[in-house]
A and B are shown apart, each in its own frame.
Chain A
Amino acid sequence: MTYLPDVADTDLRRLRATLVARAAADGLLDVAYRTVDSPVGPLLLARTPAGLVRVAFGVQDHEAVLTTLAQQVSPRVLEAPGQLDDAARELDEYFAGRRTAFDLPLDLQLLRGFRRDVVLHLPDIAYGRTASYAQMAGLAGSPRAVRAVGTACALNPLPVVLPCHRVVRSDGTPGQYAGGAAAKLTLLDLETRVGAAA
């Protein structure tokens, strides 16, 4: 038999929506994700029942990030945009300059040890301000661990929401960023502009 009967995309979309709803109702939606457009390119947003667990830039390869989440959190990963409406809305407001802090439940299970200490201190840097890697090392309680701060920022599982873009080099230049140097500049410019207007 050489002919495979067609199945319509509309049928599959409807069935997938039903599956997502039933998975959520049965407590089987361990990782829900969606992508949103932003001034720094498409962002992948992923959450567990506990809260937002991962934000990733396009340059980080969303498919690779999802595969990693399947290994590190749970392979029960489904695209479920409705589960991330709150995160998408807050990010929209942030990029529109109408939000200076995020108010989302976060799941920090991808963070351990010193990286966790660093990332949890990121919101201490006020909107529109910056801190050096050395200052962050001090905030995290290990003033000499400057390089480790750089690593912690580079591996921040929740960029933008936990503002590693506000950590810059001691000479004031932006330095590296998981989303690319241009993305870091875009975020810093946005916050400077909105901060100055406030």
Chain B
Amino acid sequence: MTVKQPFERVVVVHGPTVLRVCRAVVGPVDADDAWSETFLAALRAYPDLPADANVEAWLVTIAHRKAIDVVRRAARHAVPVADVPDRVLPPQGRDLDLWAAIAALPTKQRQVVAYHHLGGLPYDDVAALVGGTAAAARRAGSDGVATLRRTYPTIDQEQS
């Protein structure tokens, strides 16, 4: 029997993963907005989520939609608007290079790397989000990782 966890535990357990996904998809600066919009929408819908649902997959799916919204909004507002919260510096140090390398990937590869490799979403679910087949998503993902291995060679040596 599964009981629904307090939402606080959802934030604690999945907050870091969702932030990695958001940073990979929209970049370190807009990631904060995407993360906040994702968890606010998730909090709103949480009472209706079945207790045995895959919470992380559900959050990554919401993050995908919110990332699209954030990118569209950023495109509309070429200059910063007054109600945008204080911008923070992007993550520092070694990870800066990785985020830059991910940002340089073609959109589909970047999305698959974010949702599958960072977010843990199965290829079938990734394909449902980004379009195309699961096999195409898998190819895009391995192409993306291959590029990252070239541009960011230490990727396999480091452990989180």
Contact = CB atoms under 8 A, between A and B. Distances in A.
Contact of B43 (A4, A23, A70): A23
Nearest to B116: A1
Contacts of B159: 2-3
B52 interface: no
B160 interface: yes
A137 to B, nearest CB: 34
Interface residues of B, number: 39
B19 interface: yes
A66 interface: yes
Interface in A17-75: 18-19, 22-23, 26, 28, 31, 33, 66-67, 69-71, 74-75
B15 A66 contact: no
Contacts of A16: 11, 15
B155 A19 contact: no
A74 B47 contact: yes
Interface string B8-27: 10010001100110010000
B7 A12 contact: no
A14 B88 contact: yes
Given A1-B145, A1-B155, A8 B43 contact: no
A76 B95 CA distance: 33
Interface string A121-136: 0000000000000000
A75 B4 contact: yes
B6 A66 contact: yes
A15 interface: yes
Interface in B75-101: 85, 88, 91, 95, 98-99
Interface in B26-47: 32, 35-36, 39-40, 43-44, 46-47
Contact of B98 (A5, A8, A74): A5
B3 A8 contact: no
A198 interface: no
Nearest to B93: A6
Interface string B112-148: 0100011000000000000000000000000001001
A78 B91 CA distance: 26
A117 to B, nearest CB: 30
B15 A76 contact: no
A71 B6 CA distance: 8
B92 to A, nearest CB: 8
A190 to B, nearest CB: 31
Interface centre among B16, B88, B113 (most CB of A within 10 A): B16
Contact of A70 (B4, B23, B39): B4
Contact of B5 (A14, A33, A70): A70
A69 B4 CA distance: 10
A19 B40 contact: yes
Nearest to A12: B15
A11 interface: yes
A107 interface: no
A75 B46 contact: yes
Given A75-B4, A75-B5, 6 more contacts: A1-B148, A6-B95, A15-B19, A15-B32, A15-B35, A26-B40
6 contacts: A3-B155, A4-B118, A12-B15, A70-B3, A71-B4, A78-B7
